């Protein structure tokens, strides 16, 4: 079922009560069609949950592993099935410890002919080490990344499905970035420079279309844990304050005030940082921050506990509804 938000419905009711006086029924029906009411498709949280679960079932999606390769093929198939055009961008990058990684950014383009575009993104890789695990025995064990990675991709696959069925008034690009989470191990002594978000750094310098531009971008990171709260991330406030305002206003309008507080979070180096710095596209990060943990993220962050057990359909639904409404309000 679709939800229809329209001032013109109200006008129609007012007119039917005799307010407009003249005009027959056919005229009024026509007016409703011509004025293009805002039709917002329903975000299905079960579908998003399924997309998260399917990714996690491949195992940790660490570059240069079989699970990563198979998950990448599956994601390209799924996104490609919804998008008008699919690009995969494969390259090699150097990780902080000198390892060469074979990585793949996965890009779905909807309505390529439209000039006004918005960019939605998340990272699809998962971290090679549980370096915040309470048990040191797991500090070099790869993680499932159900929340840290798969949740954002799951929400965006569901939005891809909606956009494929109901055309918004704007072109949409959905990018799944690779190698976001191969950053410096907590106990490494290497310099901590630009070693996160390797896939988005590559894309920002080599976009899938020359001179690619968008009105704004939204990054989703850790958007599936129960009890999540999304404070206003500091780089988002610095580079894209109007986008933060737009998104938080819509969240409040939908009744998700408690999850999108008007509170300032920290500066987080993530994919959106490089999109802002290198491509100059105002891009925000919707990311779960938590003052009650030592690292500032959800309790299972970069631990073996970041499994499907932390994923809550309610959180996926809240974020999904907000981003869907942003897309269809453009
Ligand atoms: C830093 O800790 C520098 N950035 C965190 C970005 C991140 C990691 N997002 C998910 N995992
Ligand atoms: Zn991470």
Residue 233 CB less than 6 A away from ligand 1 = no
Residues 127-162: tens digit of each pLDDT: 999 999 999 999 999 999 999 999 999 999 999 999
Residues 188-202: tens digit of each pLDDT: 998 888 999 999 999
Q: Which of 301, 304, 221 is nearest to 268 (CA)?
A: 221
How confident is the model at residue 28, as a pLDDT?
A: 45
Residues 253-308: tens digit of each pLDDT: 999 999 999 999 999 999 999 999 999 999 999 999 999 999 999 999 999 999 99
Distance 212 CA to ligand 1 centre (A): 25
Kindly report the average pLDDT of the chain as a whole number. 92
At the topology level of CATH, where does 42-328 sit? Answer: Aminopeptidase (3.40.630)
How confident is the model at residue 34, as a pLDDT?
A: 55
Is 241's pLDDT higher than 80?
yes
Distance 208 CA to ligand 1 centre (A): 24
Residues 69-107: tens digit of each pLDDT: 999 999 999 999 999 999 999 999 999 999 999 999 999
Q: What share of the chain is helix, strand, coil (3-state, %, to 5)?
A: 40, 15, 45
| pTM of the predicted structure, to 2 decimals | 0.90
Q: Which atom of ligand 1 is nearest to the CA of 301?
A: 11
Would you place residue 21 in the very low, low, confident or very high pLDDT band (cuts 50, 70, 90)? Answer: very low
Distance 196 CA to ligand 1 centre (A): 7
Is 207's pLDDT higher than 90?
yes
Given ligand 1 and candidates 270, 287, 288, which is best to mutate, with the most ligand atoms within 8 Å of its CB? 270
How confident is the model at residue 38, as a pLDDT?
A: 80
Spell out the domain ranges in the chain. 1-35, 42-328
How confident is the model at residue 16, as a pLDDT?
A: 41
Cβ–Cβ < 8 Å for 197, 285 = no
Cβ-based neighbour number of residue 20 at 10 Å: 14
**Residue % of the chain over a pLDDT of 90:** 87
Distance 126 CA to ligand 2 centre (A): 7
Ligand minimally distant from the alpha carbon of residue 270: 1
Residue with tokens 């971008």: 217
Residue 223 CB less than 6 A away from ligand 1 = no
Helices 313-329 and 151-165 meet at what angle, rounded to 10?
Answer: 40
Q: Which of 300, 239, 305 is nearest to 271 (CA)?
A: 239
Would you place residue 6 in the very low, low, confident or very high pLDDT band (cuts 50, 70, 90)? Answer: very low
Is 12's pLDDT higher than 90?
no
Would you place residue 35 in the very low, low, confident or very high pLDDT band (cuts 50, 70, 90)? Answer: low
Q: How far apart are CA 146 and CA 52, in angstroms?
A: 7
């Amino acid at each position: 079922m679709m939800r229809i938000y329209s001032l013109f419905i109200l006008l129609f009711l007012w007119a039917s009560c005799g307010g407009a006086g003249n005009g027959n029924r056919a005229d009024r029906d026509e007016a409703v069609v011509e004025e293009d009411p805002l039709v917002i498709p329903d975000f299905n949280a079960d579908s998003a949950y399924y997309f998260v679960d399917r990714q996690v079932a491949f195992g940790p999606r660490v570059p240069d592993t079989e699970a990563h390769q198979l998950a990448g093929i599956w994601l390209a198939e799924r996104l490609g099935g919804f998008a008008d055009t699919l690009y995969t961008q494969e390259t090699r990058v150097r990780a902080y410890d000198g390892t060469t990684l074979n990585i793949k950014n996965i890009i779905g383009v909807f309505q390529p002919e439209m000039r006004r575009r918005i960019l939605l993104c998340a990272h699809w890789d998962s971290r090679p080490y549980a370096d915040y695990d309470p048990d040191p025995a797991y500090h070099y064990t790869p993680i499932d990344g159900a929340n840290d990675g798969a949740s954002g991709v799951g929400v965006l696959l569901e939005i891809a499905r909606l956009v494929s069925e109901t055309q918004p008034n704007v072109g949409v690009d959905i990018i799944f970035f690779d190698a976001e989470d191969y950053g410096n191990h907590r106990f490494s002594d290497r310099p901590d420079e630009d070693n996160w978000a390797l896939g988005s750094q590559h894309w920002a310098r080599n976009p899938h279309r020359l001179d690619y531009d968008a009105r704004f971008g939204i990054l989703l990171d850790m958007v599936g844990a129960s009890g999540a709260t999304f404070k206003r991330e500091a780089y988002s406030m610095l580079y894209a304050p109007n986008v933060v305002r737009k998104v938080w206003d819509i969240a409040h309008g939908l009744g998700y005030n408690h999850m999108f507080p008007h509170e300032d979070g920290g500066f987080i180096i993530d994919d959106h940082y490089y999109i802002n710095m290198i491509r100059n596209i105002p891009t925000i990060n919707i990311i779960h921050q938590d003052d009650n943990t030592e690292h500032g993220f959800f309790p299972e962050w970069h631990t073996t506990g970041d499994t499907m057990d932390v994923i809550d359909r309610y959180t996926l639904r809240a974020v999904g509804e907000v981003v869907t409404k942003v897309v269809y309000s453009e």
